[in-house]
Amino acid sequence: AQSVSQHNHHVILSEAASLELGCNYSYGGTVNLFWYVQYPGQHLQLLLKYFSGDPLVKGIKGFEAEFIKSKFSFNLRKPSVQWSDTAEYFCAVNTNAGKSTFGDGTTLTVKP
């Protein structure tokens, strides 16, 4: 069965600090990879996705993620966070069977 592991449960940063959130998955087949964001009181929104091609994916709001197949990882990065990035971030994996599995989420708090 597929699974997704997010290493950091809660990350606290000051504005302008760099961000990297870890995500590892376990599944032997072809996967599509996603990062979702959930701002306080809102529903999940897609940040970025990887299907194939360039393993470095750029998403909205300055976020990017790199797919490293050999490490089964898809870490999320942002060079300089803002207070408005305070949210919960979910990594997700979709298999070709259409099943979507989410990590437990990482809560990011950015201090102004």
Partner 1 sequence: DAGVIQSPRHEVTEMGQEVTLRCKPISGHNSLFWYRQTMMRGLELLIYFNNNVPIDDSGMPEDRFSAKMPNASFSTLKIQPSEPRDSAVYFCASITTGGTEAFFGQGTRLTVV
Q: Note the residues at the interface with partner 1 (CB under 8 A).
A: 32, 34, 36, 42-46, 49, 51, 90, 92, 94-102, 104-105
Q: State which residue, 43 or 69, has the beta carbon closest to partner 1.
A: 43
Question: Shortest approach of partner 1 to residue 96 CB, angstroms?
Answer: 6
In sequence order, the 6+-apart residues with CB closer than 8 A to the CB of 58 are 48, 64
- How many CB atoms within 10 Å of residue 72? 17
Residue 71, helix vs strand vs coil: helix
Q: State which residue, 46 or 60, has the beta carbon closest to partner 1.
A: 46
Q: How far is it, in rounded angstroms, from Cα 62 to Cα 28?
A: 30
Q: State which residue, 98 or 112, has the beta carbon closest to partner 1.
A: 98
Question: Shortest approach of partner 1 to residue 14 CB, angstroms?
Answer: 25
